[in-house]
Amino acid sequence: MKILVVDDDMVQLESLRRGLRSKGYQVLEALSAEDALNRFTHSHTNEIDLVLSDYLMPGMNGIELLKKIREDHGSLPVILMTAYGEKDLIIEALHNRCNSFIEKPFTLEQLMQEIERVTK
Amino acid sequence: MKSSNPVTAHDSSENSRFGGAPRRNPGLKDFLRFRFFSGEDSTGMLGTPNPHQLTSWLFSEHKDAEEQIRESKSMIQAVFDGISDPLLLLDRDFSITILLNRAAAKYYGVHEPGEVIGKRCYEALMGRTEPCEKCPYPLVILNGRGGTFERKGLMDPARFEKVIIYPTEIGVVICIKDITKAKLMERQLIHNQKLSSLGLLVSGIVHEIKNLNNCITFNIPILTEYLKELIPIIDDYVESHSDFELFGMSYPEFREDIFNLLGNLEHASGRINDTVSGLGGFGRRNDGGKQRWVELKQVVEKAVAICRCQGKRIVKSFEVDMAENLPPIFIDPEPLEQVLVNLLIKAAQATDKEDTWIRLKVKQPDTLRDHVLIEVSDNGCGMDEETQGKVFEPFFSTKTPRRGSGLGLFVSHNLIEELGGRIEVESKPSKGSTFRVILNDANQGPTKSRYFSSF
């Protein structure tokens, strides 16, 4: 399974890459939402099975990226990560058919459970 | 004059040539007059009345004028008295020359306003021998320009006043307006703005800490897995090198310590998260209408998490005693949380002993089963009765201005009243204080009166 991980923080990105690879996933990386959208244009959509994106990033945020993915790539599974456990944010994400919302800090085990749940 | 014959009249009203008596005094009848002509036109007249009649006329004119002055003075007094703000009319030398209104008499505690008229304001009203300090009055007289200034209440320093000075031709009018309410609102607004900025700042810091903490939380299990893969290889190596040591430890000790260290890191990361999660909602503005069923335990735990850091540094013992099976209450939890934070911080600031403690107790009183009682007690400096009486008043503070706005307990009191409860204090100097928040049956659900009163 190929996961596109989007986070503006290099250290977070590296941690996620390491963790997910250790569980046998292929990982594509993007340092911004715009960068993630470029990934889509330069690769076939069906190459990516899931998007794991941070919410707060400079430029386009995670929900804006989610909306764009819904417009262009239909029901591709998206998991948003956030350090803000704000209800309003979760509701907005769910309105835009976000598959899952995971609050930081989380463990690899918790992330795996969410990935398995949304890709079942 | 035309004929050089003066005209005399004994009854001017009957003499058409004379032109009648002066309109304002028909009693003046005996006259000697000269008329002046220019050509055929009468241009003027010079005359004198009978001296006796003149004296009596002048006397009556004087009486009229006095009466008129009295009337207008009492009319001005009535207008002044009708104004609810204290007003004074002072002469150039500080004398209360003309009047002070009823509100001013009440303000200065003057029982007989007549007695202070003519006396200097600072003598008659303030019992001083010289003008009050910083009195701007001489400057107003010198410049001839009025103005306004704000001050702490002259008679009651807990209040705020705006003094307006208007110079007029006959003296200077001084008006004293009580602006305590406006000042209070202004301060509360600033206080709320500060809280809301603090809330923004805190939520930014919480976000940053959680993000960074995620690296620790996420990577520790991975690192543990890595080590679990690696350890059997080292185990094999040690089997053939029995004297293997690292950092002065035998291998079995070292092996155990690695996982201890990882366990400590994991624990610390969890604690960081618990602490900052409790701060997440702090400082958010309360816009009302957020009543819902709330478990009191959660509200108390949140407030305790916010204060624990500060409290722990100051007090030796911090106990939380929550009764089992407390019923959920129907309330907006945020103001209650803010009040608890205020009370806990206040308790921590009151400490003055080596062996300090704060106790937070939550229970249902035996006699009032539909009420919930939250008690915050400390063994700090305590308060005398006079201080206890003022403790919920706005701007009342025993602390230095940098440490206290004097609004914390006032705000708490208002918040609890808005929640339909009440707050009380019991204290003894040098023994400590207990603040009690009592949430009554209005918080027992939307079927009660409070729900209906909102329609």
Task: With beta carbons under 8 A apart, name residues in chain A contacting B215.
Answer: 11-12, 15
From the number of C-beta atoms within 10 Å of its C-beta (0-12, 13-18, 19+), residue B315 rates as buried
- Domain ranges in chain B are 7-66, 83-178, 182-279, 292-453
Q: Quote the mean pLDDT of chain A.
A: 88
Cα-Cα end-to-end distance for chain B: 92
Bridge partners (DSSP) of residue B432 are B428
Could you tell me if B216 lies within 8 Å of chain A, comparing CB atoms? yes
pLDDT > 90 fraction of chain B, expressed in percent and rounded? 14
Residue with tokens 């403690």: B357
The SS3 of residue B367 is coil
pLDDT > 70? residue B217: yes
User: Would you call B359 an interface residue with chain A, using a CB distance cutoff of 8 Å?
Assistant: no
- The whole-number pLDDT of residue B404 equals 54
Q: Identify which has the larger pLDDT, B37 or A78.
A: A78
Reference A95, options A66, A59, A53; nearest CA is: A66
What's the CA gap between B143 and B108, in Å, rounded? 27
DSSP classification of residue A120: -
Flag whether pLDDT at B445 surpasses 60.
no
CATH superfamily ID and name for B83-178: PAS domain (3.30.450.20)
Using a CB-CB cut-off of 8 Å, the residues of chain B touching A108 are 218, 221-222
Residue pair A80/A55 in contact by the 8 Å Cβ criterion: yes
Minimum CA–CA partner of B271 in chain A: A105
Query: pLDDT tens digits, residue range B10-54?
Result: 555 555 555 555 555 556 666 666 667 777 776 776 767 677 767
Query: pLDDT: is B141 or B346 the higher one?
Result: B346
What are phi and psi for residue B183, nearest 5 degrees?
Answer: -60, -40
The answer on pLDDT for B284 being more than 70 is: no
Two structure tokens written together for B162: 């705006």
Average pLDDT over residues B301-329: 77
Asked if the bond preceding B365 is cis, omega within 30° of 0, the reply is no
β-pairing, B292-294 vs B329-331, is antiparallel
Does A22 contact chain B (CB < 8 Å)?
yes
Please state the rounded mean pLDDT for residues B300-316.
72
The domain spans of chain A are 2-119
- DSSP secondary structure code for residue B57 in this structure: H
Mean pLDDT in residue range A10-15: 91
Percent helix / strand / coil, chain B, rounded to 5 = 45, 20, 35
What pLDDT does residue B1 have? 43
Task: Inform me whether the C-beta atom of residue B214 falls under 8 Å from chain A C-beta atoms.
Answer: yes
Greater model confidence, B120 or B287: B120
Q: B219: which chain A residues are within 8 Å (Cβ-Cβ)? A: 15, 18-19
Spatial CA neighbour of B346 closest among B279, B438, B423, B440: B423
Residue B261 tokens read as: 């260290």
Over residues B77-105, the pLDDT tens digits come to 788 888 889 988 887 777 766 567 888 88
pLDDT of residue B99: 65
Architecture of domain A2-119: 3-Layer(aba) Sandwich (3.40)
Q: How far apart are the first and last CA of chain A?
A: 12
Measure the CA–CA gap between B34 and B23, rounded to whole angstroms. Answer: 18
Q: What is the pLDDT of residue B420?
A: 81
Q: Could you tell me the pLDDT band of residue B401, with boundaries at 50, 70 and 90?
A: very low
**Least confident piece of the model among B72-76, B138-142, B283-287, B299-303:** B283-287
In the prediction, which pLDDT does B230 show?
A: 94
Q: Could you report the per-residue pLDDT of B352-373, keeping only the tens digit for each?
A: 888 888 999 998 887 777 788 9
What integer pLDDT is reported at residue B452 of this predicted model? 28
pLDDT > 60? residue B231:
yes
Please give the CATH number for the structural domain made up of B292-453.
Answer: 3.30.565.10
- At residue B311, the pLDDT reads 61
B125 CB-contact burial (10 Å; exposed 0-12 / middle 13-18 / buried 19+) = buried
Give the mutation candidate from B205, B208, B209, B214 for the A interface (greatest A CB count, under 10 A).
Answer: B214
Neighboring chain B residues of A105 at a CB cutoff of 8 Å: 210, 213-214, 216-218, 269, 273
Percent composition of chain A: helix, strand, coil (DSSP 3-state, to 5): 50, 20, 30
The confidence score (pLDDT) of residue B235 equals 93
Residue B406: pLDDT band with limits 50, 70, 90: low
Tell me what pLDDT residue B288 has.
46
**Is A104–B210 a contact, with Cβ atoms under 8 angstroms apart?**
yes
Mean pLDDT in residue range B134-155 = 79
Dihedrals phi, psi of A9, to nearest 5 degrees: -95, 115
Mean pLDDT for the stretch of residues B244-249 = 86
Categorize the per-residue pLDDT at A113 as very low, low, confident or very high, splitting at 50, 70 and 90. very high
Q: Nearest-CA residue of chain B relative to A23? A: B222
A6 pLDDT tier (thresholds 50, 70, 90): very high
Percent of residues, chain B, with pLDDT higher than 70:
77
Interface test with A, best of B218, B226, B228, B265 (most A CBs within 10 A): B218
